[in-house]
Structures are given as structure tokens and as C-alpha cells.
Amino acid sequence: MKPLIFLLLAVQTLGAQDAVTSSVHRFRVEKVAEGLDHPWGVEKLPDGRFLITERGGRLLLVSANGVEMTPVSGVPPVFAQGQGGLLDVTLHPEYADNGWIYLALSKPIGDGALTSIVRAKLDGDRLTDLETVFDPPPGEATDKNIHFGSRIVFDGRGFMFFPVGDRGGPTTPDNLAQSLGSVTGKIHRLHDDGRVPEDNPFVGTPGAVPSIWAYGVRNPQGLVHDAATGRLWETEHGPRGGDELNIIRKGANYGWPVATYGINYSGTKITDKTSAPGMEDPIVQWTPVIAASGLELYKGGKFPRWRGNLFAGGLAGQKLVRIQLNGTAVTRQENLLENTGRIRDVRTFDDGFLYVLYDEPGQLVRLVPAD
């Protein structure tokens, strides 16, 4: 499948009380919380409070009205350098019964770090019962402070998916993203307690990391599972050009850096190939990049004509891209919230609003119907 490129519909820069008319819905932006320090992920607890991670290593418990922010103790140490630190936060699908909260973080290992997944329970304002779900191999840790990933999603069938970035490997075919013996540059799949599923594609392959579900990715920071179709959608950062939207399939190779639409930051070519046999083409590629971050599939009731659309946050692009789908095909893209800040995460919760987490300015907002 070849990628589709669209002219995007620009929408005015908005203030907090401005109504915005998109192509199918009018909405306003409501501020939920502000004064955050490079927030990375947001989750909502059943009682209406929010959990928000800050890259520097703080996990905040935020009241439903955003007024009270309480640091949560018991968070593991993180490698808070560059793109590293405390990353995603996600509740277990059966949180009401088991109380598990999952965190993605860059784990300090020697003088370097690598992406790790842990889980714990919340007791007041502290984490308890901390367990490591994915412990990265120390031999792959590096002191580079880029390309950690990482989001955590569940498929509702007991499986957990998360990416590990390529950790700034070389833009040559020997990048470890192409090696089944490395955890980097991969999408991983585990049981919720960290066990490796027996039907993972490379279980039994000599030398392969058994948790690998798919490979050949650069720096994925958007991941969402569509329960209705079983599709796993991913967005990842390209280098200079070539951000991607992909459907992640079992055992598939997504080409980095053998095939890419991006070039080196110096302006030199990485490869002449944008497509290669045996490698998956992106559904969409963005050049110039949007610096694709959080990704959400809208399934709420507040904006019925957005239902089934993907929403991709852009950091450098400072926009929220609404992606209209027809099956696996993208039929339209629309830019929202342009030039309002660097968007790190996009989420929907049980209230049906669309929440947007800004890295800069550090704030959480929600989109609400204007009429």
C-alpha cells in the first residue's frame, strides 16, 4: 500500500474561549490543568482524577478540576536526559478489580538507559507493589538521550503492546531496528504480567528476542488499538521528513532505515528507497514532519461525526491532525489547534471529550462541543 499525502485544512489559532469550526464539528477548548513541566502521558482514574507524567520523573495526581496537583511517591528512578525520563501512564483494562497502573520510563543502566515498563498500585499519594513488567537487557543500554518510544496499550484480550525506539542508531542497514536479536526499534507484545505469549511471531527463532511483535521502527510515540477491528495503529518520528502512520501487523518489518521518506538532518540521503520488498509501506507519511507523538482513536459520544477518526498530536508541527478513515485507507486529514503549542498526548475517556496534553505550554485541555 502506497502512502497518501493530502493538503491539510488550516484552522485558526484559538484562545481559550474561542469557538472553532472544523469541517464537521464546532468545539471550544477548556483548560483542565496548567503549570506542568514537560508532561508526557495522561490517564484518568475512575473517580475523575487524572494521572499525569512529567518527563523529569514526577507522577502527578491531579484533581478533576485541575486545581490540586499532588506528586505521587514511589516512582522508580528515571534517566531524565534529552528525550528520556518518565513517559507513558496507562491503567490496566480491569483496573477497577486489580488496581494496576502501568508506566513506561527510561531506566538508568550504568551511564546510559533503555526503555522499561513497570506496574504498581496507588495507595493514597504513593505507589505500592511495584513490579517490573519489561526489564531491558543491560547490554543494550546507551548514553544517547534520544529515541526511547514509548506508549502502552492493551488489546482487551490480556495482551500489552509497547514500542522501544531505536535509541539513535545509525541511519545504515546495520541499525539494530533490523536485528531480531535486539529490543530496540521494535513493537513488543507481552501478557499483562510480563510473560511472553507463546504465539508471538519470533518465539522459537534462534537468537530472536521473543517479545518482538514487529520491527524496523524508528521512534514510535503514538500507539492505539482498535478493539472493533483488531488493528494496531502507530505513529513514529522520521528524521528530517518521513514521519509515519502505520498499521502494525504480526511479524512485519517497517523498513527503518532501509526504506524511508526521510533524509539525514545534515541534508544527505539515508537511502534511495521509500519502499522495499518484504517491508511495510506507511499508510501516510508526513514531510515536512509533524513530529508525531500521541495517537488516539476517537470513540466517544460528544462528537459523533468524529467517531472512528484518528487524532495525531504534533510536537514540532504544533497541531492536532484529524485523520478520517475508510477501513485502512485515509480519506482526509484536517489540522486542528494549529500553532497553540507542542502536543504530546491525545486521549479520550469515559466522559466522551477529547483531551490534549501539551508539552509546551505544559497544560492539559479538553475539546468540548461549542453548541
Which stretch of DSSP H or E encloses residue 74?
Answer: none
By the 8 A CB rule, do 222 and 236 touch? yes
> How far is 345 from 293, CA to CA, in rounded Å?
6
364 three-class SS? strand
Give the pLDDT confidence score for residue 14 in this predicted structure. Answer: 43
Active-site annotation holds for 188: no
Complete domains list, the chain, with CATH: 1-34+290-371 (no CATH), 39-287 (2.120.10.30)
- Can you give the pLDDT at residue 18? 75
| pLDDT attached to residue 17 | 58
Q: Residue 338: which of 35, 83, 8 has the closest Cα? A: 8
Hey, what's the cell of 218? 524508528
Asked whether the CA dihedral 56, 60, 64, 65 is positive or negative, the reply is: negative
Task: Check residue 371 and give its pLDDT.
Answer: 80
Residue 284 one-letter amino acid: V
Q: Facing residues of 119 across strands?
A: 102, 131
Residue type, 156: G
| Mean pLDDT split into 10-residue runs, the chain, 371 residues | 38 56 94 98 98 98 97 98 98 98 98 98 98 98 97 96 98 97 98 98 98 98 97 98 98 98 97 98 98 97 98 98 98 97 98 98 98 80
Q: Which three cell numbers mark 138?
A: 543491560
Distance CA 8, CA 346 (A): 19
Name the catalytic one among 147, 188, 225, 237: 147
Q: Which helix (H) or strand (E) holds 268?
A: none
Around Cβ 362, how many Cβ atoms within 10 Å?
Answer: 19
Whole-angstrom CA distances from 278 to 2, 63, 258 are: 14, 49, 11
Angstrom CA distances, 279 to 97, 98, 243, 275, stand at 41, 39, 16, 7
